[in-house]
């Protein structure tokens, strides 16, 4: 059973009448204490939009429970198709598509001819051109485009799955333009951290941004809880465990190359800071 958090209420608020009202109408739900608040959650994803609207009105005192007949999902009730879900998060989809293209640049002969345009430093043969020269020519995109470069199918699949799961939450919460800004800031932070730590421009991957999502969600859950970032603590714990495991070098024995650990840490820190600076915003 996967409970979906819909709304949080203060601990001191009596929700018994609301709970009875929902139960009488056959809406399966639960109310549990989480992070010092009461969390109302449901099992049916289809009723969430209508229920959120109803609960917002209830919290503002605009609803008389005795006069409300029912709470029903939208006319097109049912689980949205994958295409419908994707249409709601265009930035996430673009990032996943660009990651796939980046993998083709790295892994195919035709792609390698274009690869040098998207690495952190430009290069000719085995000679890298100083980043300052590229930036002086206006090639600002190099600060974030390494996030799209992936080394192998499993690399791009792993990062894309996390982007689909965590990235959608953030795009829903902050909106597409703010999420695009979040990506740009955290991708630059992760790439710069990796470059400064390793001194090499031979790196890539969206995992720095994925860890920025982890950092944002972990901090936001504590400072300003919201149903969209209500992920299981075990998931955050797993990602942090994986971060530490990679830093030990153990994972490097099973892959070609090495893990960009500094990008992970840089992204994680950037995501945490972003969540702290925006803790009073994004309350949709």
- Taking the CA atoms of the chain, what radius of gyration do you get in angstroms? 22
Active site residues: 207, 264
pLDDT of residue 242: 92
The phi, psi pair for 249, rounded to 5°, reads 90, -5
* List of residues 6+ apart from 31 with CB closer than 8 A: 15, 19, 38, 39, 40, 41
Mean pLDDT, rounded, for 179-187: 97
**CATH placement of domain 4-59:** 3.30.70.2080
Which pLDDT belongs to residue 74?
46
* pLDDT at residue 189 in the model: 97
pLDDT band of residue 5 (cuts 50, 70, 90) is confident
Q: What rounded mean pLDDT belongs to the chain? A: 87
pLDDT of residue 3 exceeding 90, the answer is: no
Domain range 82-277, CATH class: mainly alpha
Q: Quick one: pLDDT at residue 192?
A: 96
Among 75-79, 231-235, 242-246, where is mean pLDDT lowest?
75-79
Instruction: Return d(Cα 141, Cα 156) in angstroms, integer.
Output: 20
Residue spans of the domains in the chain: they are: 4-59, 82-277
- Predicted confidence (pLDDT) at residue 73 exceeds the cutoff of 50: no
The whole-number average pLDDT for the span 46-67 is 81
pLDDT value of position 283 = 58
pLDDT digits (tens, 9 = 90+) for 159-182: 999 999 999 999 988 889 999 999
pLDDT tens for each residue of 104-161:
999 999 999 999 999 999 998 888 999 999 999 999 999 999 999 999 899 999 999 9
Largest CA distance in the chain: 75
Contact by Cβ (8 Å): 216, 276: no
Q: What is the pLDDT of residue 284?
A: 53
Mean pLDDT of 90-94: 96
């Amino acid at each position: 059973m996967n409970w979906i958090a819909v709304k949080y209420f203060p601990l001191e608020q009596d929700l018994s009448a609301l709970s009875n009202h929902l139960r009488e109408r056959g809406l399966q739900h639960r109310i549990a204490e989480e992070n010092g608040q009461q969390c109302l959650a449901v099992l049916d994803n289809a009723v969430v939009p209508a229920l959120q609207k109803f609960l917002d009105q209830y919290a503002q005192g605009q609803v008389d429970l005795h006069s409300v007949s029912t709470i029903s999902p939208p006319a097109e009730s049912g689980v949205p198709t994958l295409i419908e879900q994707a249409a709601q998060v265009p930035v996430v989809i673009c990032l996943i598509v660009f990651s796939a293209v980046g993998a083709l640049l790295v892994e195919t002969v035709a792609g390698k001819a274009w690869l040098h345009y998207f690495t952190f430093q430009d290069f000719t043969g085995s000679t890298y051109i100083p980043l300052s020269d590229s930036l002086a020519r206006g090639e600002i995109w190099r600060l974030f485009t390494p996030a799209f470069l992936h080394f192998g199918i499993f690399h791009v699949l792993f990062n894309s799955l996390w982007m689909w799961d965590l990235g959608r939450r953030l795009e829903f919460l902050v909106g597409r333009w703010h999420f695009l800004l979040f990506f740009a800031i955290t991708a630059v932070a992760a790439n710069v951290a990796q470059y400064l730590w390793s001194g090499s421009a031979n790196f890539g991957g969206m995992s720095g941004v994925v860890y920025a999502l982890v950092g944002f969600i972990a901090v936001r859950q504590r400072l300003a809880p919201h149903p969209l970032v209500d992920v299981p603590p075990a998931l955050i714990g797993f990602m942090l465990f994986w971060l530490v495991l990679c830093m030990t070098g153990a994972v490097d024995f099973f892959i070609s190359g090495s893990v960009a650990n500094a990008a992970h840490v840089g992204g994680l820190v950037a995501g945490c800071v972003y969540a702290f600076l925006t803790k009073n915003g994004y309350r949709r």
